[in-house]
Structure 1
């Protein structure tokens, strides 16, 4: 199972950052693993379910909030997707750590691969190792943060065969459209969608 992570620092409180991440619709603004998310508002929380489209897939899949620890950690698990070589289940995780006058955020992606697709785990990991720093940069642009010099790192690969802050927030009418970023498993990209984030911290519309 490829597991890749990268760290970013944003000069915002953990509450603000968590509120932003808790609304899965915001993922489409910066994550290359989420092409779009249904604009319907879903109350953030454990087991919250969204309809989203994985890059390279024409039909929508379900995205579930699999871990919800306010101001500490949140994770979203994508629906199992099948292909000629096997299946994959993407998991997007975010760990928050209060640091100095802001928050250190660890962005991580885990791809659960099965059958012959698991043999491509090193390739999938390499693609995410390339793409995650770009995602981190987009995340920082939205929240006014800084991407550390260190790039994304692969923390595990187990093939089956071997067992400063912005002066002001963007106007409500602004709808940024990040450019697509390709990965080995699919062709990730991002697209802005409406959002309803608590505390007025809303970048998705």
Structure 2
């Protein structure tokens, strides 16, 4: 199963960044691996369950908080998804480290695959190496340069996941098929004329062959 990661620096405290990430509804604002999250509020914490829509799929799936260490680490695991070639389970993980006047955030995506999908592992790794750096910069720009008095972080997505029958799965495509998920929302609340922050680091890919994000 492939695991791709990158680092990005955000000029906000680890507490602010963690609180933003802990509300999974915010993933739809910047992550290309999450098309939408149901707008109903879910109390953040370990094993919290959200309903979300994966790119390329019409029906909603469960997204579970699989790791929860306030101010340090949080991860969300998607529900197992089936296609004629096998299954996949996506995991979105975030590690936070205080750094200078902000937070260094390590974003990673792991796709656990089965059956014939394992043969497509190089393609999913290639897709994430293409998309994750853009996601990380969108995440950085969305959080901006820190709050002024009374200014709040960007609100979570209010899009509601449509209730569709369990058998209504969209066809799967390879990297680059169709529009790239997560690129239609413009960064919100990014201040003007502010000092630049370090860009995302070069991609790192685990040495172990990983799975395929066939709908990505």
TM-score range, shorter chain: 0.7 to 0.9
Q: What residue is the counterpart of 1:177 in the other structure?
A: none
Q: Which runs of 5+ in 2 are unaligned?
A: 146-196
Q: Secondary structure at the match of 2:129?
A: helix
Q: What residue is the counterpart of 1:126 in the other structure?
A: 126
Q: Secondary structure at the match of 1:75?
A: strand
**1:1-40 CA distances to partner (integer Å, 9 max, x unpaired)?**
1000010001110000000000000000000000000000
Rounded Cα–Cα distance in structure 2 between residues aligned with 1:72 and 1:156 = 25
Q: What residue is the counterpart of 1:21 in the other structure?
A: 21
In the TM superposition, residue 58 of structure 1 has moved relative to its aligned partner by 0.4
Rounded Cα–Cα distance in structure 1 between residues aligned with 2:142 and 2:27 = 11
In the TM superposition, residue 184 of structure 1 has moved relative to its aligned partner by 5.6
Q: What residue is the counterpart of 1:142 in the other structure?
A: 142
* Count of matched residue pairs: 165
Q: What residue is the counterpart of 1:84 in the other structure?
A: 84
Q: Secondary structure at the match of 1:42?
A: coil
Q: Which runs of 5+ in 1 are unaligned?
A: 161-182, 188-205
Q: What residue is the counterpart of 1:185 in the other structure?
A: 214
2:184 aligned with 1:155:
no
TM-score of the pair, normalised by structure 2: 0.73
In the TM superposition, residue 74 of structure 1 has moved relative to its aligned partner by 0.0
Task: From the superposition, tell whether residues 71 and 159 of structure 1 become closer, same or farther in structure 2 (CA, over 3 Å).
Answer: closer
Q: What residue is the counterpart of 2:96 in the other structure?
A: 96
Q: What residue is the counterpart of 1:179 in the other structure?
A: none
Rounded Cα–Cα distance in structure 1 between residues aligned with 2:198 and 2:29 = 17
**Correspondences of 1:36-51 after superposition (within 5 Å):** 36-51=36-51
In the TM superposition, residue 149 of structure 1 has moved relative to its aligned partner by 5.3
TM-score of the pair, normalised by structure 1: 0.77
